[in-house]
Structure 1
Amino acid sequence: MTLAQAFADQAESCSQMGSPFMGRLLRILASQWPQSSALGQKFAGFEGDIGPAGHSLPLRIAGGLHALVLNGTAPELAAVYPPNNASTADLETNVLHALHTHEKFLLDWTDSAPQTNEVRRSAALIAGARVAAQHFDLPLTLSELGASGGLNLMWDHYALDIHGHRFGPTVPALILTPEWKGALPPDIGPVIAQRAGVDLNPLDPQAGADLLRLTAYLWPDQPDRLRMTRAAASVMTAPLAQGDAIDWLATRLAEAPRGHLHLIQHTVAWQYFPAAAQARGRALIEATGAKATADRPLGWLSMESDGDTTGKVGAALTLRLWPGDITLDLGRADFHGRWINWTATP
């Protein structure tokens, strides 16, 4: 895949996911990318997949440009970013100017892959955890793989509103309102007794530089995502470890207390683990599940792409529970949590 094609493909994907501004920006970069610049030479040196399942170069540079707007160092760029309704010609002029003027910042910024923490995915976690609690009504020990900034570990602080039915705390940090199709989730509120997460590069959403990184990868014409991320960051208390997810999980599984349902969760993270890590993780979870008991049950709640393109592009929601090795197909969800097609039987 050429860089121009990667920009064009990402532009189409962002447009389909409700961000016309990102579509415009990435199409400008597809046609006007400064190949002879230091940035151009850096990007030309990447090998392998440069699209969203690999190095994700289009989103790296788009996130860097948005960071310049958010941190106030590029007022000329902010002038053509939402909520301003700039012409495509003005946007192109100012973006190309920013690529040149702020090249040093962008060279440093694009060293790291994009890192988001899409808090709207918590809508699926809230619903899925209620199904798990319906089977095992015990306090939860919650473990998240690929936790990023840990915001989706805090889903018990958020409310899920489905057609006026409210699930969650009376005074939530934020309210999630996905387009919901299907039956309502169980009316049982899980209690999280312990929670922790792991990531190769965990971010502290209450620290300025890390919060900037999380919010820069939110799309500029979707201010609700920015507002919700900041609201979620205000209640973040979960400990996050840095390291290999499967090594960390092995310790968590061994130390899980009796009298708790140990619920493993991950959203659009497992698919990025190397195949060997996936196989090792699956074997570890299944071996632990085979030894699970009624007073020490295990759950595995996932929201991951399964390649299904027959309907709306999104992720499969799956819950496995032990003892018994029960696999429940809960439905499908938009990658950003905008909609959930819930198929779980009441």
Structure 2
Amino acid sequence: MAAPELERVQYRLRQFAQHVAAGVSPLYAHLAERAADDAEVAGLLTATSPEFATPTLLLAAVHRVLQAEPVHELSNYYPSLGGSYGVDSGTWPLFRAFTLERADAVRALIATRTTQTNEVRRAALLYPAVAMAAARRPIALLEVGCSAGLLLNLDRYSYRYQTEQAGQLVAGPAKATVGLHCALELAPGATLPVLPKKLTVGARFGLDRAPVDLADEEQYAWLEACIWADQPERLRLFSAAARAQRDNRPELVTGDAIDDLPAVAARVPAELPLVVLTSSAMFYLPKPRRADFVAALGELAARRPVHWVTHDEYEAALRHVLPDRADLRWPKEDGHSFGTLGLVRWEDGRAVGRALAKTAWHGQRMTWLP
């Protein structure tokens, strides 16, 4: 394998361990930190192209292989598979041996799959931004990088936002089968966002290079494997949202995020303002294509009202509209990474954007910005 490729994935593993998983997932922080120093394990990620060679892909591939062997001793460290052991001196040796003994199976998954974590809790982050875009009007949702499309049902989930200023704020339908909780903090100078009880979504579409059919057992199992193994509450919410979607299936289209965007948007009723969603999706576009995506949204906005709600890394998304926001860049040497929630609209052909919040990646908390 080429040395630069190996060095790149080792760097990503180390950054993930120190800035993403630390304090959030003891198991994945431990495994990623050690994989970063192990050329054989880290090298498995070179089986895919650089933009998809993420630490979460390696961990998901091993998780999926372990799902097929739940009696293996390594499962004792995976709460998702019924394990109850905490991280100890035996965790890494077992993981390393299991992974390398099944290197062909792990490598095959890495070569043919991408991380498609359809994290339902992110709906709690998107809801206030979508509500701002809707401005109490019926809208259409189009999610780019939709995976199984669970976020497209965000109007059907209920939300409880815990605040210091106003206690618990409630939004969404009261009798929803999926209920989400999110800590909502205010940055200095910020005021609480408006959280309407109801959003009206008149059409919903998803666009993905490989959309997930939850009726397919293998595809369903892959999404389960993409959920971090020591966070069973996320697995429970995923299962609940998947069940709820059986009666409310959005239309998912296979295609390129940029080349096929106009054709999918053309299927949305013209009378509905279009709200385009991206959530942890822009990172997977090659860097030159990210600006192309923003330009494609601008072309759509020349023909109809368009808003873009983005929950992504700042450098991958909102930077193209709001440059020079050093406060939104990461990773920081002294802290965790974070997502940036943003809202963009177009006025007279010009993109006008606002950074709304800094967020935890999986929707558990956000800090609203002035």
Counterparts of 2:158 and 2:24, CA distance in 1: 23
Counterparts of 1:272 and 1:326, CA distance in 2: 24
What corresponds to 1:59 in structure 2? 56
Distance 1:18 1:256, change over 3 A: same
The one of 329, 337, 347 equivalent to 1:313 is 337
CA contact (8 A) 1:147 1:202 kept: yes
Offset of residue 228 of structure 1 = 1.1
> Which secondary structure does the structure 1 equivalent of 2:266 belong to?
helix
The one of 23, 27, 31 equivalent to 1:21 is 27
Distance 1:275 1:156, change over 3 A: same
TM-score (norm 1): 0.84
CA contact (8 A) 1:318 1:327 kept: yes
Distance 1:9 1:74, change over 3 A: farther
Counting matched residue pairs gives 329
What corresponds to 1:99 in structure 2? 99
Counterparts of 2:131 and 2:213, CA distance in 1: 28
The one of 171, 186, 191 equivalent to 2:175 is 171
> Which secondary structure does the structure 2 equivalent of 1:245 belong to?
coil
> Which secondary structure does the structure 2 equivalent of 1:166 belong to?
strand
Offset of residue 226 of structure 1 = 1.0
Deviations 1:64-101 (A, max 9, x none): 22223334455222123334225633223422332244
> Which secondary structure does the structure 2 equivalent of 1:177 belong to?
strand
Offset of residue 316 of structure 1 = 2.1
Offset of residue 17 of structure 1 = 5.3
Identity, % of aligned positions: 23
In structure 2, give the amino acid aligned to 1:131: M
The aligned runs of 1:130-145 (5 Å cut-off) are 130-134=131-135, 137-145=136-144
Deviations 1:196-237 (A, max 9, x none): 101111112342211211121211111111111111111221
TM-score (norm 2): 0.79
Distance 1:71 1:227, change over 3 A: farther
The aligned runs of 1:250-329 (5 Å cut-off) are 250-292=262-304, 297-307=305-315, 308-309=329-330, 313-322=337-346, 326-329=352-355
Distance 1:72 1:158, change over 3 A: farther
Offset of residue 2 of structure 1 = 5.8
Comparing 198-207 with 313-322, greater Cα deviation is found at 313-322
Gaps of 5+ in 1: none
What corresponds to 2:146 in structure 1? 147
CA contact (8 A) 1:14 1:22 kept: no
Counterparts of 1:174 and 1:143, CA distance in 2: 21
> Which secondary structure does the structure 2 equivalent of 1:234 belong to?
helix
CA contact (8 A) 2:306 2:345 kept: yes
